[in-house]
Amino acid sequence: MRWKVQREYASLENLPSPLRRRSIIMATRINNMKSLVLLTFIGLASVIANAQTKNAAPANGDDVAMKEIRGWLDRWTKAFAAKDVDAIMALYADDVIAYDVVPPLQYVGKAEYRTDYLQFLSQYTDNVKVEVRDLHVGANGDLGYAAGLELISGTLKSGQKSELWVRFTSLFRKSGGRWLGFHDHVSVPADIESGKAMLEMKP
Q: For residue 156, what is the DSSP state? A: B
201 Cβ partners below 8 Å, 6+ apart? 165, 188, 189
| Rg from Cα positions in the chain | 36
Q: Where are the beta strands (DSSP E) in the chain?
A: 92-99, 107-108, 129-140, 143-155, 161-175, 178-187
pLDDT at position 39 is 45
pLDDT at position 31 is 52
CA dist., res. 78 & res. 130, Å (int)? 9
11 Cβ partners below 8 Å, 6+ apart? none
Whether this model's pTM surpasses 0.75: no
Helices (H), strands (E): how many in the chain? 5, 6
What CATH architecture is 61-187?
Answer: Roll (3.10)
Q: Chunked in runs of 10, what are the mean pLDDT values of the chain (203 residues)? A: 42 48 50 47 42 42 92 97 97 98 96 97 94 97 97 95 96 96 97 91 91
pLDDT at position 109 is 98
CB count within 10 Å of CB 124 equals 17
